[in-house]
């Protein structure tokens, strides 16, 4: 590495160390640290015989993960830790506290209420518990309720939209569509976003991760202003032009894309290419536990491998705040801290 490049990276990392951050693509159940998992297991009356390293193996993806479908298997264990109101509330609170310690000033935590009903809770009770935890932290945060791809999820997804409407502005900010994108195409779920629009519920859409540009085009047909991942847009130059034209924001999560074998090296992540093309992008963690990362590490990776400057770092954080599901007064207050 040339001296001037090395100096530039060092300057960016120094700036990053002091910079407040935001994370607008973070899955609650994918971000349960071993310490939080231990607490949740004790709340559930489970015998905790595993050390932190062993718990991490249950919570984190292995090296050499083959694809998104294998990656998603890591969400089964955390689902069992979020079955009571106290477990859900404590998890939301404790994840926020870990984010505060990382220097975040804003976060959007997303999860699927329908995945936490095994012990008899309703979606409403799950959301109410999550909101109780949300309010206990001083971190400015919002919840995004995920609808799920998969067989026979339609009614549960419609209920999730209704829950978002009922708690909109009271801690819930939007809905999302998550799950196995390659197995269950985005096009099969477009009617859900029509219902969200009818009820004035904002939304974002996972697309362009396990499936290609066509999935992003389907997501754009909903009118969404944000897309989760969206990185495979780079395979279609006309789609990149459309993202610029529409002003669509991509919620990029670099390490997660390596875990799911979308790319093999940080240098391949199309962050710089998309930025240079004029696409508005953000950097996020996706799943802190599953991917053994956090948003500060994600920024560090991009500094080291894509040569981000201090001004570009600030711009990326401001991008996240500009598209966050918050009111303008909150947005202005947060922006003033960057």
Q: What are the structural domains, with CATH classification, of the chain?
A: 3-335 (3.20.20.140)
Contacts with 21 (C-beta within 8 Å, 6 or more apart), sequence order: 102, 103, 104, 105, 295, 296, 299, 317
- Cβ 89 vs Cβ 133: under 8 Å: yes
**Any idea what DSSP says for residue 115?**
G
Report the C-alpha gap between 295 and 284 in whole angstroms: 5
* DSSP H helix total and E strand total for the chain: 16, 8
- Residue 83 among the catalytic residues: no
Report the C-alpha gap between 53 and 321 in whole angstroms: 35
Lookup: tokens for 300: 């560090």
Report the C-alpha gap between 12 and 119 in whole angstroms: 48
Q: Which of 209, 251, 300, 312 is catalytic?
A: 209
Distance of CA 226 to CAs 100, 163, 220, 264, Å?
24, 21, 9, 25
Each of the 338 residues of the chain gets a pLDDT tens digit; together they read 555 556 679 999 999 999 999 999 999 999 999 999 999 999 999 887 777 888 888 788 877 777 778 888 878 888 999 999 999 999 999 999 999 999 999 999 999 999 999 999 999 999 999 999 999 999 999 999 999 999 999 999 999 999 999 999 999 999 999 999 999 999 999 999 999 999 999 999 999 999 999 999 999 999 999 999 999 999 999 999 999 999 999 999 999 999 999 999 999 999 999 999 999 999 999 999 999 999 999 999 999 999 999 999 999 999 999 999 999 999 999 999 99
Give the CA-trace dihedral at 305, 307, 313, 315, to 10 degrees: -120
Contacts with 41 (C-beta within 8 Å, 6 or more apart), sequence order: 48, 81
């Amino acid at each position: 590495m040339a001296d001037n490049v090395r100096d530039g990276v060092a300057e960016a990392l120094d700036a990053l160390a002091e910079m407040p951050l935001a994370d607008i693509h973070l899955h609650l159940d994918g971000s349960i640290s071993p310490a939080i998992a231990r607490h949740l297991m004790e709340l559930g009356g489970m015998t905790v015989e595993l050390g932190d390293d062993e718990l991490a193996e249950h919570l984190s993806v292995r090296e050499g993960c083959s694809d998104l479908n294998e990656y998603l298997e890591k969400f089964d264990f955390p689902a069992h830790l979020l079955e009571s109101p106290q477990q859900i509330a404590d998890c939301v609170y404790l994840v926020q506290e870990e984010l505060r310690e990382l220097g975040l000033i804003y976060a959007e935590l997303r999860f699927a209420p329908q995945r936490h009903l095994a012990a008899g809770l309703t979606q409403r009770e799950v959301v109410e518990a999550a909101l109780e935890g949300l309010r206990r932290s001083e971190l400015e945060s919002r919840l995004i309720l995920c609808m799920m791809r998969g067989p026979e999820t339609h009614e549960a997804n419609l209920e999730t939209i209704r829950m978002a409407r009922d708690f909109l502005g009271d801690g819930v900010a939007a809905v999302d569509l998550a799950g196995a994108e390659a197995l269950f195409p985005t096009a099969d779920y477009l009617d859900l976003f029509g219902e969200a629009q009818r009820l004035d519920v904002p939304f974002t859409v996972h697309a362009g991760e396990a499936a290609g540009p066509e999935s992003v085009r389907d997501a754009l047909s909903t009118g969404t202003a944000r897309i989760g991942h969206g990185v495979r847009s780079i395979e279609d130059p006309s789609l990149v032009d459309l993202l610029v034209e529409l002003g669509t924001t991509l919620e990029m999560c670099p390490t997660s894309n390596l875990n799911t074998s979308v790319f093999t090296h940080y240098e391949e992540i199309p962050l710089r290419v998309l930025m240079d093309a004029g696409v508005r992008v953000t950097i996020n963690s996706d799943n802190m536990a599953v991917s053994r990362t956090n948003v500060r590490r994600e920024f560090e990776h991009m500094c080291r491998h894509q040569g981000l400057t201090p001004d570009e770092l600030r711009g990326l954080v401001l991008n996240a705040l500009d598209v966050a599901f918050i009111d303008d007064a909150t947005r202005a207050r947060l922006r003033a801290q960057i």
